[in-house]
Structure formats: structure tokens, C-alpha cells
């Protein structure tokens, strides 16, 4: 929440093309940590309690606006990319208030925070501290800065002998002494409500023709207003991702940040550098995460769960004591307490497992509800089915739920024993405590407690192999020496 006495508006600059990304996707839509980069800025603004969030779009505007639809932000399009000053004014025009006509700041005027759509690592806590400092010092213009041993490429923060910020000098225009300055400008600012009016006084750069938001500093000074800097403790927070290597670096930093938080909260990550856990995931205490695990979306993992190596789990709920074995894939599934899944299992959306369910290797479920104690140990497909408690599903069982056009539902009762390699041709109902003989193709309902056998009668044809292989004796002798010798003995 924004605890200041003035409301806060946020302008997010997201109009750039990002040519170094070499992509048809707008730069700010490239994901880091499971979200488009620009969505991290929106999230930060909203966590600060901003009354209004304006995203300035330009290159790929329709795509950016579609990606952020429904998030509660307002959009402002920058018609021509003419620099950060022009982008700021585009956004300011969409704010509920942009200062009084006289240029004075009124008690109910909002501060304006400027963020960027390509800096996904900036923490809301840092911005909150910056806002507090801005208002505690009665600052009109506060610059978020950092320090580097070598700040080459950044604008430098120039201070006077008293430590006050006097200028922002860009790299190209810096003297040798100014280039030696280690404090750099991040481009993130907090300003009072006069900013839009002052920004209209910015003149285009004589070389590039662009309008630079950094010129606001001199305009605030000319208005007799105080300007200050708030220095970052962690410069990684303002690291921008300008190309694919930058994306990978940001992803690694965010991954370490999230994983460290989980470990400090009581989660065991055996090899945290290999785990990707999105910030929307919740993990209980004493969860063990083996190498290579990926956790996405609104996944909720209760205490005491073990997640096997290289499992991928998305938008799923895992109750206490669940064991997910290696290489399993879960999406939109719920797994009841004490159940185990895998290895190499796949639970698709709508899969709901009760307590103590066993799903073994190469078992796939979809829109399937399995009650407590159900066991499906091997090589089964269970789609559009409900299965009662303690039912045993043999290896190779298939619920044939699709007729080529429509999906059909099957209901299997409690305590049912389904033999290996059985096929249930939906829609079917199988009564409680029924048996299905191995290899059956079930095309009728089965009453409670009945045994269903649906397979052809076995018939043995003597001498078949000799006649069959004998017709290919020459090829058999070339490729199958044991069989060729067998034929010779007949």
C-alpha cells in the first residue's frame, strides 16, 4: 500500500521497439519469471496502491494492450517515438490529475512515479522506500540512482559540495571527470504534480531531435524546487533486459530471489539453480523440491510434499504428504493427501485425486475424478471418468471416451477390479465391486458385483508357424538364424 499522505499515479513507459531483442514480439512482452516484463511493472505499481496506472504503448501497441487487458490499467499511445519526455507527456494526458494551471502543488494532487516496461526486477519495497524518502524530504523530484565501479553507458548524477543533485549528464556529453563518477541515473523518478506542465517546456535535443525526461531536473531547479536522489542498495533491481542474454540474466536473478525466499521459509531445494518457481506459487514448510522441477501459475503445495526431479506442475493443488515422482507433468490437477503420482505420469486439467490414490508410470488422466485409494499403476488412459474408492485399474486400461466428434462420460463404482488391457467404451457405467476380465472390451454396462468378460474365444491352430515362416524360408535363413534352424528341425 502507498502510505503517503498524497495519492500516487504511475506512468509505465512501454513504447519502445527493442530491436536488439530480434523478435516479432514487442520487447516488453518477453517473459521473465512467468510474466511479460511489463506486467512486473504493473504488479509493482498496484502493490504500491496507485490510484491510476497508465501504460504508454507504441511499438506493438495492440499486442501490449491485449496482454494487459483486464488488469485495470489505462493505456496511452505514443504516436511517434520521440524520446522519454514525449512518452511521459503521452501518459500524463491519461492521468486523472496533472497539476494545477498555476503550477502550484495542491494538497490532493498526486505524486507521479515513472517506471519502465523492461525492468522486471525492481522491488515494490524499494519503490515504497523511495516514495517515503521523497515525501519526508519534501522533494519535488526524486531520482532513483545506483553506484557501479564503472558506470559507462549510463547518465551520471552530478552533485554539488553539499551533496545536492545538480545535473544529470549523459555519457556522450560527459567530461572525463564526469565519466569517472560512479553514481548513475536509473531513469526511475518520483515527481510532484507540476511535472506534466514542466515537461511541456522540454525542448528537443539538438542532435537527436528527441525530448529527454532528464531535462525535468533543470526545469524543477529553475522553478526553485528541491530535487534529490534515492540510492539503490541492489543495482540488479534496475537492470534492463535489452536482448536475449539480458532476459536470461534477469530470469536467473529473479529465480535466485524467489528460491532463496522459499528456502528461508522452510522449503528444501536440493539444487536451487535448476528450479524454476514462479512468484505465484505457494509452498508449505518441509516441501522437498528435487533438481529440475518447474512450478508455474497458481500452484499450491502443502507441507511435507516431495516433488520429484524434472516434474512440471502448473495451476495445481497438492495436499499434504503427496509424492510426485520424477518426470511427471501436472496441469490443472488436484492431488489428495498422501497420494503418489509417477514417474512419467501426466495429469491433465480436471484431474482430481482423492486421498491415498496411486498413479503410476505412464498413466494419463483428464477430467477424471478418482476417489480415495484408487490405484492405476501402469500404462493407462483415464479420460472423462469418475472412479469410486479402492478401485484397482490394471495395466493398459483405456477409457475410450471419444467417438470422433464428442467426448462421453464413464462412471466406475467403488471396489471395482479392472483387469489388464481392458477397454471401456464410453458412455459406460460399472457397478460397485464389479470385475472386468483382462483383455475385455466393455461395450455394455456392468451390474454391481458382476464379472464381465468381453473377448473372443481362444483358438489354437496347430502347425501355423511352420507354414507361415516356411513360405519365407530364404529370407528367414538370412535374417533369423534360430528360426531357420527350428524350421529345419520340423
SS3 for the chain is CCCCCCCEEEEEEECCCCHHHCCCCCHHHCEECCEEHHHHHHHHHHHCCCCEEEEEEECEHHHHHHHCCCCCCEEEECCCCCCHHHHHHHHHCCCCCCCCCCCCCCCCCCEEEEEECCCCCCCHHHHHHHHHHHHHCCCCEEEEEEECCCCCCCCEEEECCCCCEEEEECHHHCCHHHHCCCEEEEEEEEECCCHHHHHCCCCCCCCCCCCCHHHHHHHHHHCCCCEEEEECCCHHHHCCCCCHHHHHHHHHHHHHHHHHHHHHCCCEECCHHHCEECCCCEECCCCEECCCCEEECCCEECCCCEECCCCEEECCEECCCCEECCCCEEECCEECCCCEECCCCEECCCCEECCCCEEEECCEEEEEEECCCCEEEECCEEEEEEECCCCEECCCCEEECECCCCECCEEECCCCEECCCCEEECCEEECCCCEECCCCEECCCECCCCEECCCCCCCCCCCHHHHHHHCCHHHHHHHCHHHHHHHHHC
Q: Residue 442: is the preceding peptide bond cis (ω within 30°)?
A: no
The residues of the chain scoring below 70 in pLDDT are 1-5, 97-108
Q: What pLDDT score was predicted for residue 280?
A: 96
Which residues are catalytic, by number? 378
Q: What pLDDT score was predicted for residue 2?
A: 52
Q: What pLDDT score was predicted for residue 45?
A: 97
Q: Residue 355: is the preceding peptide bond cis (ω within 30°)?
A: no
Q: What pLDDT score was predicted for residue 108?
A: 53
Q: What pLDDT score was predicted for residue 104?
A: 44
Amino acid at each position: 500500500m502507498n502510505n503517503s499522505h498524497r495519492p500516487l499515479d504511475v506512468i509505465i513507459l512501454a513504447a519502445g521497439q527493442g530491436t536488439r531483442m530480434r523478435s516479432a514480439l514487442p520487447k516488453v512482452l518477453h517473459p521473465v519469471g512467468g510474466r511479460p516484463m511489463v506486467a512486473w511493472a504493473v504488479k509493482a505499481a498496484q502493490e504500491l496502491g496507485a490510484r491510476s496506472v497508465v501504460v504508454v504503448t507504441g511499438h506493438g501497441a495492440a499486442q501490449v494492450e491485449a496482454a494487459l487487458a483486464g488488469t485495470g490499467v489505462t493505456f496511452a499511445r505514443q504516436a511517434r517515438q520521440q524520446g522519454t519526455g514525449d512518452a511521459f507527456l503521452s501518459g500524463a494526458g491519461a492521468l486523472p490529475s496533472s497539476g494545477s494551471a498555476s503550477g502550484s502543488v495542491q494538497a490532493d494532487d498526486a505524486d507521479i512515479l515513472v517506471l519502465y516496461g523492461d525492468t522486471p526486477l525492481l522491488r515494490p519495497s524499494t519503490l515504497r522506500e523511495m516514495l517515503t524518502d521523497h515525501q519526508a524530504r519534501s522533494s519535488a523530484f526524486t531520482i532513483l540512482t545506483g553506484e557501479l565501479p564503472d558506470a559507462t553507458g549510463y547518465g551520471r548524477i552530478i552533485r554539488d559540495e553539499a551533496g545536492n543533485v545538480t545535473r544529470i549528464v549523459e555519457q556522450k556529453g560527459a567530461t572525463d571527470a564526469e565519466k569517472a563518477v560512479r553514481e548513475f541515473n536509473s531513469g526511475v523518478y518520483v515527481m510532484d504534480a507540476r511535472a506534466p506542465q514542466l515537461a511541456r517546456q522540454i525542448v528537443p535535443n539538438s542532435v537527436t531531435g528527441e525530448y529527454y525526461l532528464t531535462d525535468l531536473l533543470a526545469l524543477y531547479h529553475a522553478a526553485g524546487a528541491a530535487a534529490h536522489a534515492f540510492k539503490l542498495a541492489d543495482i540488479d533491481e534496475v537492470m534492463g533486459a535489452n536482448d536475449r542474454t539480458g532476459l536470461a540474466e534477469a530470469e536467473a536473478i529473479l529465480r535466485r530471489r524467489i528460491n532463496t525466499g522459499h528456502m528461508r521459509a522452510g522449503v528444501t531445494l536440493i539444487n536451487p539453480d535448476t528450479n524454476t518457481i514462479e512468484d505465484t506459487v505457494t509452498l508449505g514448510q518441509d516441501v522437498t523440491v528435487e533438481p529440475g522441477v518447474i512450478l508455474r501459475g497458481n500452484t499450491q503445495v502443502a507441507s511435507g510434499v516431495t516433488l520429484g526431479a524434472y516434474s512440471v506442475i502448473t495451476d495445481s493443488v497438492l495436499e499434504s504428504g503427496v509424492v510426485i515422482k520424477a518426470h511427471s507433468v501436472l496441469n490443472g490437477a488436484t492431488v489428495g493427501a498422501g497420494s503418489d503420482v509417477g514417474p512419467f505420469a501426466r495429469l491433465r486439467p480436471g484431474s482430481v485425486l482423492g486421498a491415498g490414490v496411486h498413479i503410476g508410470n505412464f498413466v494419463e488422466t483428464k477430467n477424471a475424478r478418482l476417489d480415495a485409494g484408487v490405484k492405476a499403476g501402469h500404462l493407462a488412459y483415464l479420460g472423462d471418468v469418475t472412479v469410486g474408492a479402492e478401485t484397482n485399474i490394471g495395466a493398459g486400461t483405456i477409457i475410450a471416451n471419444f467417438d470422433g466428434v464428442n467426448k462421453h462420460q464413464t462412471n466406475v463404482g467403488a471396489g471395482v477390479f479392472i483387469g489388464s488391457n481392458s477397454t471401456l467404451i464410453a458412455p459406460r457405467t460399472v457397478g460397485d465391486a464389479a470385475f472386468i476380465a483382462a483383455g475385455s472390451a466393455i461395450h455394455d454396462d456392468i451390474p454391481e458385483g458382476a464379472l464381465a468378460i468381453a473377448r473372443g474365444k481362444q483358438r489354437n491352430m496347430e502347425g501355423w508357424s511352420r507354414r507361415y515362416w516356411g513360405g519365407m524360408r530364404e529370407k528367414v535363413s538370412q535374417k533369423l538364424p534360430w528360426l531357420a534352424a527350428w524350421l529345419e528341425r520340423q
